Structure 1
Amino acid sequence: MALDVDKDGRVGCAYYVAMDEELVLEEEIPMGGIEAVDTLLLLVQPTSVIIPNRAPGDLIEFLERDAYRFDGSEGSDGEQGSYILRHVVSAQFDYDAGKEALTKVDVEPAKPDPVQVQSLEEEPVQSIGSSSHNKLMRLAERINFESCLSVGCAGAVLNDLERRRTAEQPSTGEDGDFTFSVRSVKMESAEDTMIISADSLISLQILQSELHPNPQTRSSNSSEPKAKEALSVTGLLQALASSAQGKRRLRQMLLRPSTDLAVIRERHMSIEILLRTENSEIAKNMRKQLRKLKNPKTLLRHVRRGVDRVRGQLSLRVGDWKALLRFAMVSAQLKHATHALKGASHIPLFSKICSEINVKRFLHVGDIIIRTIDFQLSKDSGRTEILPGASEYLDGLREEFAHVRRLLAELRESVAREVPEEVAEHIRHCTVMPQLGFLVAVTIDVETGEGIYHGQHHPEGEWTMCFVSGDMVYYKNQLMLDLDVQYGDLPSRIADEEIEVIMALAAAVLEHEEAILSASELFGELDSMLALALAAEKYNWTAPTMTASNVIDIVDGRHPLQELLVPSFIPNDCALAGGCGASDLEDDRLGMSNGRKASFPSMLILTGPNSSGKSVYMRQVALIVYLAHTGSYVPAARATIGVTDRILTRIATRETVVNDESAFLVDLKQAAFAMNFATRRSLLLIDEFGKGTTADSGSALFTAYLTYFLGLGTERPKVLAGTHFHEVFENGLLMPGEDVAFGHMDVRLDPEAEDPDEAVTFLFRLLPGRGSSSLGVLCAASNDVPSDVINRARAIVALLDNNESLLEACSDMTQEDKRRLEEAELVARRFLALEIPSRGREQGGSVPIRDMLRSVLAPGEAPTSGA
């Protein structure tokens, strides 16, 4: 992954996906800064990050926090780093160099060139008619070349891939070798995609990683992942997918929510079809079939890699052929099951599966594999075995080799008859080996290290020793040499022919590579829809109504994660409407009256006790909006969701010991980011902003922050805010009105309860109006804060409620305090009245200092000096 940030905060990014052999460019993010870089790292999860030497200091500092440390020290997360950070010369990030590098990528054109211009010599990239210029024109169909920083990043990635191809060994993982070739290039655009920052992804628990349970794996730099998805929306839904391609496609959908209503509605319709009662068994069978699929990209990479010609072995595992055969069989069954779905003919996904998947081609591939590979014999021998009939020439070689093996016992007897009788028993056997041919094995003489007999005094001369193995020495004699001439190197010829057969099989399979990969993508899409349908069925989610209107109307909404952790969850409603836009005449597809829509506020301010559910409520609203844009059903009885372009949060303060920024400064940066990027279609979550400073400054900032958004008029976003600054409302700084609504979480108080846990009961139900108190003292008492602290806090709260001066109240002393102060004063006076004897006086007339001090602390008859 290559990253570049300019002085104006624009962010460019490009990365290479080794599994797909694909180069991806991200469209430039204006004013993105470090926040955008943080989000890209979270989405891509790179193993290596490249930046130019001229990169700004804050980018370098930010990336170094989580970079791998070769000295063994730990990063900000307590581990050795999740990626390798490399600095390269800035010239590798040059825009023109990036364009030049892209022209060298051999990718298939999206469509045939309408005009082909021939040139005698290769011209510069800018020359019209040159082959490089034609390639750039084709790439322009996929890439926005106005994203200069990202094009430069693509050049840096391509240079690094070239370095790896020439200077390093291929990367070997559990999925095989990566050749670092580029088969496709694409650009990810922010158009029609909801923007959600890294802070929001983590604050809302859309992504939540936990460390690998093995400490050695966590601290190593191996390819094995150091973390896994914990309790999060992504982890919750990915667990329901059946195949690797389904999990991957689902992650893509979750991390790039769509704002295209057509795409979202298509996914909702797909889920609706899969949830029909008459289709339940078919959907269940589809999940069962999808579990049998392995990732065909990995399998086809193994096929392209072929066999190991150096060792002359079939390095392609028989399990890969079996997986390809299974893919062909499952493809036919999935297409048949898709045909059987009721009401699915008008859904694009199911139509594509029925029309684009050519079952005959896949069955042909499966038939070729079945007629070539002997799976049972391969299982028994532990290597890939070729069936008889796959190659006439191979069958002939095998028959000839079988005949030779039957002759080996006779050969041993023939050799034994030609040697002296006393050593005949030491002729162990005859064999034939690849590259070595026919050999005779003789018992070894441990004293000499040679065979007990090796042709001594034989008319044809002594035998030639080839090698020693165990207690035997292998020799060539004249008979073995004659057999080599007669039969040749049969094992090697058989191995070579097996390689040719496998290569022919691989070539036949690769003829259908594009069809297999295309089918795999469709199956991944199908699996992701099946996972979302299963989530809707399992967790009682419903289909939201998506609209172009700028509203959020949720009835009985629930938090998708929190409800899994509590015995019962209290649902709540939410109704918000953003600004209508200065010149925006939207098509209102809600079917609600203008009066109802106009009654929705754009800002809801929540108050109420700590632990009453305010934060959970705000998060659940954001997650329902988020899930609706991924195409998923949502945890609510009913929901109407308007297109939301971004979700911005000021909730969690992510701190680290290597960051010299205070918690309050981090909060301010999050708030500033929201102010700079919020639009009228944005949803903002603001939880206790201003708590990191004094109450006066915090409440002032909170008020000014909300007032700023209200002052945007028709461009105001939808805002959910929670606070404990009650003085804001008591002083009339924020008043309820047409655009602002107050809400609080309901509680029941029992002032007579002796147990603090029974004094307050949280009902977790949202009610209109403002809560009168945060009940901080009661919350402290129920969380085992010492009673002395609680009593003192209650006394101070009572003084504040009565508008009494805390300075005067704190200066008043109890009778006990006065008595102790008087005693301390007497002690001090007695100490000052002491006459300490001088050092020069005789010891006999002095009083011990220790006794004099005791007299000060315990008054009585004080000893005197001799004076």
Structure 2
Amino acid sequence: MSSLADNFNSESIVHYNGDISTTSCSQGGANPHSDSGCNKTSSHIPSSSNVTEILPQSSDTEKQYATTDSKEDMVVLSVFWRKGMLGAAYYSAETSEVHIATDIVDVNPEFNILQSLYHLVEPSCVLVISQVPDSFISMLKSLTGADSPSDYGASKENIHPERKLNILPRKDYNFEACRRRIFLLKLPSEPVDCNEEEHLMYLNSLIDMTNESMIQALGVLLKWLDVSWGFLHLDEQTQAPIMAINTISLEDIVMMNRETYEALQIFNQLAHPSSFKRGARGSYREGLSVYGIFNRCKSQLGCKFMRVMFLHPSRDIDVLNSRFDVVQFCVQPKNEDIVKNMLVCMKNIKNITRIISRLTKLSASVREWKCLHKTIYYGIMLGNLCEAIASEAKLFREIAGCITEEMCQTDYCINRIIDFKEAELQNTFVVKLGVDEELDRLKQKCGGIPELISSVAQQELKHLPPYIKECALVYIPEIGYLLSLPPWKESMTEEDWNVPGTEFMFKLGNVGHYKTARCQELDGMLGDTTVEIAEYESRILLKLVQFIQERIAPLHKLIKLASELDCLIALALVAKENNYVRPVLTTERVLEIEGGRHPLQELCVDDFVPNDTFSGEQHSLMKIITGPNSSGKSVYLKQVALIAFLAHIGSFVPAKRAKIGVLHHIHTRIQTVESIATNISAFMIDLKQMILSLYSSTPSSLIIVDEFGKGTTEIDGLALLASCLDHFLSREVKCPHVLASTHFHDVVSLVQKSRYLKLQTMEYIADHDGQIVNLFKLKDGSVQTSCALPIAESVLLGSVACNRAQKIYEALKTGGKIPVPANSKRALRMEKYRNLAQTIISSDYIDIEEIQEMCSKP
């Protein structure tokens, strides 16, 4: 009868973890370590004849498992730029996957594509060639914070894997050398027994070899990993494991710089209040942000996919519509039970990349085997759920397509071969009965050993001298069975350890080990049965690992798709709770939003007032918005940008109806974040943000400008704002979508007249006391005052300050003389001189001494 293990293809034998079995008996009293006369324990030891290395295996395994995550999230990014073409590749140690970015034009002085890629990847280390323009190196230094020479290397010999920026010599970027290194790749998904020609064809199907910049970046990345992997101590393997190659496209990304993400509060990481923990892994938490309210993912993989999705808003309508289909399905009440079952599955689907890497070295723990089995099991369940609803969305069909017969075979073999219950007790790999006949025979033979050893230990104790009260029988691989005796008095000499009728072998700690006639009899009777069992189970383990490796590719794809589904279900939960709607994406250049709301602000107020937005050739492309302070202008501008952003990541939007034309850029001039590190003033920061909007925008861009020019004098700021708006209007039909709010009310008369310009304001009313009541509703028109004084009085600035401000305002408005404050030192001095002059005029004679005395008084 054939065994199940015969279905595997390898006969290799690996080293095993043996065990040491101990049976203890005591005479004249109970063993202090046992509730009965005999106590049997077992613990695992390394396969070695050196008895001084016998250590409990369980504690080592737990420690190793707990420390393997120290650098698993390391990401290495390699970039190459030549003649305006940017190529890139990066390696993620957590997933053991290489991602390549196809060549793309990046000729902007700010290298916007490079910046977007860097913030998308968030690398731990960056590789770049030394002979690129200084501006490119300067941008990388700015992004990585590598300002000192110790933060980056300038030669191959000076490479350090823990540097943020490694500048490599040009010879490392030789195209042919990089190409040859790529052809050495061997991926698990590659068909078995490929010849060289088929291997090259397979790699060419994954990598476009015509992208020269990308090829050079990828080749250098692979060579750098070859050299540095051992130094990183990420794994016991000598080479970095590469499970798959994925292609990412930067051509369909909606460009948004870091300032825009901060201004729109898409991310908001809060550092730990303790300076000792600040900067450590896990010391940051997400504050009030768009990402924070949407992150309802059940798995860590889903959270990471959502972050990538937020950092990579897409212009691909097909991709976005496929995401909308999934969200649409999940928000429907009739599908609630299916969605709950999906969430249960995704909660149990884990990232198995590191587990697979440990399986190849046969060092995976029982816990990791269970995690793999659970992931496959729930992955198959998720695929079956998606198969029943495959017609609803493309993602469901892709997940269902991952459930192959090979994956089901893998799940069956793991469940059929591994005895998880017994493996947890022994903390090692255990094969079930019925898998192999010879293994079953050995286990049956070994089954009565504990009772036999207990009986032998009792006999040994009877024949020992009466001063020895307890003994134990232990089994050590390659040595056999030994009699173990603890010390029987306080100070034991070497002569004291000699026991009649026994042969002293060695002393381990304060316990002596002896060979007796009964021990030799046990060696002859039982032999190394335990060793034979371990060798058999090791052979089966190796065959099972090879069987899994050949069939693991569909599971990797399923896990990636499951993380996307987890993310989209989280978007659906938020959309359902907050009454979001599905936007309509179009290639037309329009923004039509009815009843738009700010996704964060509406959660912080009791009643949020929605507003409409209509931008396009038929409506107008530029809006200049004026109105009182605190009337809601900034919130309105941000809500338009956020609605457009959410539509480009595949989320429903907070509105009654939305039709969004695909955007190429979202630029903002909203927030000015000053820092000593930037080494520029607040006004210069504002100018840089506006320059980016002027020179990088296209007709399909959305530009948000909030109070530009307030960092300098009113006249200069007004002139700069008017000239920038004029520049956009001069493009006429190619003008981007521009929403600008300002308190420079004269800008309305300074910009050119155009049919693409519309003036809007925020409604307000003034009560009988002159107090301002903002209605937060947008309407057509403009205002000539910001109502700053009534608003300042309403927030209790102080009657004295407000009255003084009102007098200065009226004097400036009419061109009159600014009055002197009544209680100022100058006013008191003028009053004293006025009284003195009046006294002199009304007196018949002048007393000089009296006048001097009056002048000397304070």
Corresponding letter in the other structure for 1:767? K
The Cα shift of 1:710 comes to 0.8
User: Which residue is equivalent to 2:664?
Assistant: 645
Matched, 1:205 2:214: no
Task: State how far apart, in whole Å, the 2-side matches of 1:715 and 1:92 are.
Answer: 45
User: Which residue is equivalent to 1:159?
Assistant: 223
The 3 A distance-change label for structure 1 pair 162 and 563 is same
2:182 to 76, 85, 102: 102
Task: State how far apart, in whole Å, the 2-side matches of 1:491 and 1:624 are.
Answer: 67
Corresponding letter in the other structure for 2:780? P
Check whether the contact 1:345–1:351 (CA below 8 A) recurs between aligned residues: yes
**What secondary structure sits across from 2:245 in the alignment?**
strand
The Cα shift of 1:781 comes to 3.1
Q: Which moved more, 1:269-278 or 1:476-485?
A: 476-485
User: Which residue is equivalent to 2:508?
Assistant: 468
Corresponding letter in the other structure for 2:694? M
User: Which residue is equivalent to 2:600?
Assistant: 561
Task: State how far apart, in whole Å, the 2-side matches of 1:109 and 1:496 are.
Answer: 30
Task: State how far apart, in whole Å, the 2-side matches of 1:406 and 1:399 are.
Answer: 13
Check whether the contact 2:79–2:89 (CA below 8 A) recurs between aligned residues: no
Corresponding letter in the other structure for 1:820? R
The 3 A distance-change label for structure 1 pair 665 and 453 is closer
Check whether the contact 1:5–1:12 (CA below 8 A) recurs between aligned residues: yes
Matched, 1:438 2:481: yes
Check whether the contact 2:472–2:483 (CA below 8 A) recurs between aligned residues: yes
Task: State how far apart, in whole Å, the 1-side matches of 2:760 and 2:633 are.
Answer: 10
Check whether the contact 1:170–1:178 (CA below 8 A) recurs between aligned residues: no
The 3 A distance-change label for structure 1 pair 416 and 207 is closer
User: Which residue is equivalent to 1:590?
Assistant: none
User: Which residue is equivalent to 2:706?
Assistant: 687
Alignment of 1:272-421 (within 5 A): 272-307=328-363, 316-341=364-389, 345=391, 347-358=393-404, 360-416=405-461, 421=465
The Cα shift of 1:417 comes to 5.9
CA displacement, residues 393-439 of structure 1 (integer Å, 9 cap, x when unaligned): 333333333433333234335545665x445x356122213444211
Task: State how far apart, in whole Å, the 2-side matches of 1:401 and 1:32 are.
Answer: 75
Task: State how far apart, in whole Å, the 1-side matches of 2:329 and 2:421 are.
Answer: 41
Check whether the contact 2:349–2:379 (CA below 8 A) recurs between aligned residues: no
Corresponding letter in the other structure for 1:233? V
Corresponding letter in the other structure for 1:201? Y
CA displacement, residues 554-613 of structure 1 (integer Å, 9 cap, x when unaligned): 100011121111112111000011xxxxxxxxxxxxxxxxxxxx5310101111122221
Check whether the contact 1:543–1:634 (CA below 8 A) recurs between aligned residues: yes
User: Which residue is equivalent to 2:42?
Assistant: none
Task: State how far apart, in whole Å, the 1-side matches of 2:361 and 2:273 are.
Answer: 34
1:797 to 771, 785, 809: 809
Corresponding letter in the other structure for 1:752? D
The 3 A distance-change label for structure 1 pair 824 and 781 is same
The Cα shift of 1:527 comes to 2.5
The Cα shift of 1:721 comes to 0.8
Corresponding letter in the other structure for 2:808? I
Percent identity, please: 27
1:260 to 316, 332, 338: 316
Matched, 1:733 2:726: no
User: Which residue is equivalent to 1:513?
Assistant: 552
The Cα shift of 1:769 comes to 0.8
1:228 to 273, 278, 285: 285
**What secondary structure sits across from 1:216 in the alignment?**
coil
Corresponding letter in the other structure for 1:59? M
User: Which residue is equivalent to 2:66?
Assistant: none
Task: State how far apart, in whole Å, the 2-side matches of 1:300 and 1:556 are.
Answer: 50
The Cα shift of 1:722 comes to 1.0
Task: State how far apart, in whole Å, the 2-side matches of 1:671 and 1:436 are.
Answer: 80
Check whether the contact 2:622–2:757 (CA below 8 A) recurs between aligned residues: yes
**What secondary structure sits across from 1:218 in the alignment?**
coil
User: Which residue is equivalent to 2:625?
Assistant: 606
When normalised by structure 2's length, the TM-score is 0.79
**What secondary structure sits across from 1:767 in the alignment?**
strand
User: Which residue is equivalent to 2:793?
Assistant: 781
Alignment of 1:826-837 (within 5 A): none
User: Which residue is equivalent to 1:750?
Assistant: 767
1:87 to 163, 166, 177: 166
The 3 A distance-change label for structure 1 pair 659 and 784 is farther
Task: State how far apart, in whole Å, the 2-side matches of 1:251 and 1:64 are.
Answer: 20
Task: State how far apart, in whole Å, the 2-side matches of 1:652 and 1:746 are.
Answer: 24
Task: State how far apart, in whole Å, the 2-side matches of 1:614 and 1:232 are.
Answer: 20
Task: State how far apart, in whole Å, the 2-side matches of 1:533 and 1:622 are.
Answer: 20
Corresponding letter in the other structure for 1:442? L
Matched, 1:530 2:569: yes
CA displacement, residues 258-309 of structure 1 (integer Å, 9 cap, x when unaligned): 22222222222332233334323222322233222222334433433422xx
**What secondary structure sits across from 2:585 in the alignment?**
strand
Corresponding letter in the other structure for 1:23? V
Check whether the contact 1:464–1:477 (CA below 8 A) recurs between aligned residues: no
CA RMSD of aligned residues (A): 3.8
CA displacement, residues 630-672 of structure 1 (integer Å, 9 cap, x when unaligned): 2221111001111111111111223212221111111111111
Task: State how far apart, in whole Å, the 1-side matches of 2:696 and 2:267 are.
Answer: 22
Higher-RCO chain (CA-CA 8 Å, sequence separation at least 6): 2
The Cα shift of 1:112 comes to 13
The 3 A distance-change label for structure 1 pair 767 and 373 is same
1:447 to 491, 501, 521: 491
The Cα shift of 1:217 comes to 3.3
**What secondary structure sits across from 2:818 in the alignment?**
helix
Task: State how far apart, in whole Å, the 1-side matches of 2:262 and 2:824 are.
Answer: 54
Structure 2: 5+ residue stretches without partners:
1-75, 152-160, 837-851
Check whether the contact 2:429–2:537 (CA below 8 A) recurs between aligned residues: no
User: Which residue is equivalent to 2:609?
Assistant: 570
Task: State how far apart, in whole Å, the 1-side matches of 2:624 and 2:486 are.
Answer: 94
Task: State how far apart, in whole Å, the 1-side matches of 2:127 and 2:664 are.
Answer: 30
Task: State how far apart, in whole Å, the 2-side matches of 1:571 and 1:632 are.
Answer: 19
User: Which residue is equivalent to 2:253?
Assistant: 193
Corresponding letter in the other structure for 2:541? I
The Cα shift of 1:702 comes to 0.4
User: Which residue is equivalent to 2:781?
Assistant: 769
Task: State how far apart, in whole Å, the 2-side matches of 1:417 and 1:164 are.
Answer: 62
The 3 A distance-change label for structure 1 pair 739 and 678 is same
The Cα shift of 1:723 comes to 0.9
Task: State how far apart, in whole Å, the 2-side matches of 1:237 and 1:451 are.
Answer: 75
The Cα shift of 1:685 comes to 0.8
Corresponding letter in the other structure for 1:465? M
Check whether the contact 1:318–1:383 (CA below 8 A) recurs between aligned residues: yes
Task: State how far apart, in whole Å, the 1-side matches of 2:166 and 2:611 are.
Answer: 51
The 3 A distance-change label for structure 1 pair 159 and 561 is same
**What secondary structure sits across from 1:773 in the alignment?**
coil
Task: State how far apart, in whole Å, the 2-side matches of 1:770 and 1:93 are.
Answer: 61
User: Which residue is equivalent to 1:700?
Assistant: 719
Check whether the contact 1:426–1:453 (CA below 8 A) recurs between aligned residues: no
Task: State how far apart, in whole Å, the 2-side matches of 1:41 and 1:628 are.
Answer: 23
Matched, 1:543 2:543: no
Check whether the contact 1:63–1:85 (CA below 8 A) recurs between aligned residues: no
Give the 4+ runs in structure 1 shifted more than 6 A: 5-10, 66-71, 108-118, 811-816, 824-827, 854-860
Check whether the contact 2:505–2:513 (CA below 8 A) recurs between aligned residues: yes
The Cα shift of 1:674 comes to 1.4
Task: State how far apart, in whole Å, the 2-side matches of 1:103 and 1:642 are.
Answer: 42
Task: State how far apart, in whole Å, the 2-side matches of 1:46 and 1:284 are.
Answer: 35
The 3 A distance-change label for structure 1 pair 168 and 352 is closer
Task: State how far apart, in whole Å, the 1-side matches of 2:663 and 2:615 are.
Answer: 12
- Count of residues paired in the alignment: 752
Task: State how far apart, in whole Å, the 2-side matches of 1:789 and 1:92 are.
Answer: 70
CA displacement, residues 775-803 of structure 1 (integer Å, 9 cap, x when unaligned): 2223333444344332222222112222x
1:670 to 683, 689, 692: 689
User: Which residue is equivalent to 1:831?
Assistant: none
Task: State how far apart, in whole Å, the 1-side matches of 2:279 and 2:445 are.
Answer: 56
